[in-house]
Amino acid sequence: MPLVESGSAPSNTEAPAVDPATAKAYWAKTSNLMWFVFGVWFFFSFVVHIFAPSLNGIRILGFPLGFYMAAQGSLIVFVVALFWFGKRQNEIDEEFGVQED
Protein backbone atom coordinates (compact mmCIF):
# COMPACT_ATOMS: atom_id res chain seq x y z
CA MET A 1 0.00 0.00 0.00
CA PRO A 2 1.64 3.26 -1.06
CA LEU A 3 2.16 5.90 1.58
CA VAL A 4 1.29 9.53 1.03
CA GLU A 5 3.74 12.29 1.91
CA SER A 6 2.36 12.51 5.44
CA GLY A 7 3.64 8.98 6.09
CA SER A 8 0.23 7.41 6.57
CA ALA A 9 -1.87 5.21 4.34
CA PRO A 10 -4.31 6.97 2.01
CA SER A 11 -7.70 7.37 3.67
CA ASN A 12 -9.62 5.90 0.72
CA THR A 13 -8.15 2.41 1.24
CA GLU A 14 -9.93 0.01 3.53
CA ALA A 15 -9.09 -3.52 4.55
CA PRO A 16 -11.61 -6.07 3.30
CA ALA A 17 -14.22 -6.98 5.89
CA VAL A 18 -13.84 -10.60 6.98
CA ASP A 19 -16.26 -12.35 9.30
CA PRO A 20 -14.78 -14.00 12.42
CA ALA A 21 -15.35 -17.58 11.20
CA THR A 22 -13.50 -16.89 7.95
CA ALA A 23 -10.72 -15.10 9.81
CA LYS A 24 -10.35 -18.09 12.14
CA ALA A 25 -10.18 -20.53 9.20
CA TYR A 26 -7.67 -18.27 7.44
CA TRP A 27 -5.47 -18.08 10.53
CA ALA A 28 -5.68 -21.87 11.00
CA LYS A 29 -4.41 -22.48 7.46
CA THR A 30 -1.75 -19.79 7.74
CA SER A 31 -0.49 -21.02 11.10
CA ASN A 32 -0.45 -24.65 9.92
CA LEU A 33 1.66 -23.60 6.94
CA MET A 34 3.98 -21.64 9.21
CA TRP A 35 4.46 -24.57 11.60
CA PHE A 36 5.09 -26.96 8.72
CA VAL A 37 7.80 -24.72 7.26
CA PHE A 38 9.24 -24.23 10.75
CA GLY A 39 9.41 -28.02 11.10
CA VAL A 40 11.24 -28.34 7.78
CA TRP A 41 13.65 -25.59 8.86
CA PHE A 42 14.26 -27.24 12.24
CA PHE A 43 14.84 -30.66 10.69
CA PHE A 44 17.35 -29.42 8.12
CA SER A 45 19.01 -27.01 10.57
CA PHE A 46 19.51 -29.34 13.52
CA VAL A 47 18.36 -32.93 13.10
CA VAL A 48 20.25 -33.68 9.89
CA HIS A 49 23.44 -32.20 11.32
CA ILE A 50 23.16 -34.17 14.55
CA PHE A 51 23.39 -37.32 12.44
CA ALA A 52 26.22 -35.99 10.26
CA PRO A 53 28.80 -38.52 11.51
CA SER A 54 26.42 -41.37 10.62
CA LEU A 55 25.65 -39.81 7.23
CA ASN A 56 29.32 -39.42 6.35
CA GLY A 57 29.41 -43.07 5.25
CA ILE A 58 27.25 -42.14 2.25
CA ARG A 59 29.02 -40.20 -0.50
CA ILE A 60 27.45 -37.74 -2.98
CA LEU A 61 29.60 -36.31 -5.76
CA GLY A 62 32.63 -37.56 -3.87
CA PHE A 63 31.74 -35.72 -0.65
CA PRO A 64 30.46 -37.28 2.58
CA LEU A 65 26.68 -36.78 2.88
CA GLY A 66 27.02 -35.08 6.29
CA PHE A 67 29.37 -32.48 4.80
CA TYR A 68 27.22 -32.11 1.69
CA MET A 69 24.05 -31.49 3.74
CA ALA A 70 25.84 -28.85 5.82
CA ALA A 71 27.45 -27.12 2.84
CA GLN A 72 24.77 -27.39 0.15
CA GLY A 73 21.76 -29.53 0.94
CA SER A 74 20.29 -27.52 3.79
CA LEU A 75 20.75 -24.24 1.94
CA ILE A 76 19.00 -25.61 -1.14
CA VAL A 77 16.11 -26.85 1.01
CA PHE A 78 15.82 -23.42 2.70
CA VAL A 79 15.62 -21.56 -0.62
CA VAL A 80 13.07 -24.01 -2.04
CA ALA A 81 11.03 -23.82 1.19
CA LEU A 82 11.08 -20.02 1.05
CA PHE A 83 9.64 -19.86 -2.46
CA TRP A 84 7.17 -22.67 -1.77
CA PHE A 85 5.98 -20.88 1.39
CA GLY A 86 5.40 -17.65 -0.54
CA LYS A 87 3.49 -19.44 -3.29
CA ARG A 88 1.37 -21.41 -0.84
CA GLN A 89 0.62 -18.33 1.29
CA ASN A 90 -0.54 -16.47 -1.83
CA GLU A 91 -2.86 -19.40 -2.63
CA ILE A 92 -4.31 -19.24 0.89
CA ASP A 93 -4.73 -15.46 0.58
CA GLU A 94 -6.59 -15.88 -2.73
CA GLU A 95 -8.78 -18.63 -1.27
CA PHE A 96 -9.97 -16.26 1.47
CA GLY A 97 -10.11 -13.13 -0.70
CA VAL A 98 -7.37 -11.21 1.09
CA GLN A 99 -4.74 -11.31 -1.64
CA GLU A 100 -2.60 -8.33 -2.52
CA ASP A 101 -3.39 -6.35 -5.65
What range defines the domain where residue 84 resides?
20-95
Pairing outcome for strands 63-64 and 59-60: antiparallel
Q: Is residue 9 in a domain?
A: no
Q: Is residue 6 in a domain?
A: no
Q: Is residue 73 in a domain?
A: yes
- Span 28-87, pLDDT tens digits: 999 999 999 999 999 999 888 888 888 888 888 888 888 887 778 889 999 999 999 999
For 88, the 3-state DSSP assignment is helix
* Whether this model's pTM surpasses 0.85: no
Q: Is residue 62 in a domain?
A: yes
Q: Is residue 10 in a domain?
A: no
Structurally, the chain folds into a number of domains equal to: 1
β-pair partners for 59:
64
Q: Is residue 63 in a domain?
A: yes
Q: What is the DSSP letter of 8?
A: S
Q: Is residue 2 in a domain?
A: no
- Confidence band of 16 (pLDDT split at 50, 70, 90): low
